[in-house]
Structure 1
């Protein structure tokens, strides 16, 4: 049993959180709303995973990088952690893109845009 995959996911979540904190893009801008968005995103994607597993589309093959710990048949513990990372990355990327586009917009004076 190795924790390489899980550890790398947690490190990645931490790195995205540092970018988020530095620029106050998502969690550090509206923590309650961000938690709700990530929670709903993870719940929806987990439901999709469960449907895929039940349909025989998704399955887990043992490998040397995962813990081997399962939440349910064919649903490793790493999956919800990955889904948290995926939702967090998507929202930090989205809010960062909005911030960049707002800075370049000629319709808004530069002094109105927060860094």
Structure 2
């Protein structure tokens, strides 16, 4: 069981992002096609960054009992895709949330 704890934590966190998004209409519930494209581009960018860092010898996979041990490429654990998805989704939800707050503050 410990080998999947990090992945489970990421999935729970992603679920939280979906719940917040749905509740407040932040990202996917505002513009699903654009949101899917932005999320895919963001994840692809950071995966490319990771692969560059791995190739340059800067990034490496840390050893822990909390990860599955499955790798998409040398030094690239499967959990990294879920983490990057969470990171991009969190940022887009937060950005849209701030925009919505600022709009409501400036509306008479």
TM-score range, shorter chain: over 0.9
Distance apart, 1:16 and its partner CA: 1.1
Question: Would you tell me which structure has more helix in proportion to its own residues?
Answer: 2
Aligned residue number for residue 65 of structure 1: 66
RMSD: 0.9
Report what 2:90 is aligned to: 89
Structure 1 match to 2:17:
16
CA deviation after TM superposition for structure 1 residue 61, in Å: 2.4
* Counterparts of 1:86 and 1:38, CA distance in 2: 10
Rounded Cα–Cα distance in structure 2 between residues aligned with 1:85 and 1:60: 19
CA displacement at 1:62 relative to structure 2: 1.8
Correspondence for 2:55: 54
- Point out 4+ residue stretches in structure 1 off by more than 4 angstroms: none
Normalised by the length of structure 2, the TM-score is: 0.96
Q: Which structure carries more relative contact order (alpha carbon 8 Å, separation 6+)?
A: 2
1:78 CA drift (Å): 0.3
How many residues are aligned here? 107
Answering whether residue 21 of structure 2 is matched by residue 5 of structure 1, we say: no
Deviations 1:35-78 (A, max 9, x none): 00000000000000000000000001221111110000000000
SS of structure 2 residue aligned to 1:68: coil
TM score, norm. by length of structure 1 = 0.90
Determine which structure has more spread, i.e. the larger CA radius of gyration: 1
Q: List runs of 5+ in structure 1 lacking aligned partners.
A: 110-115
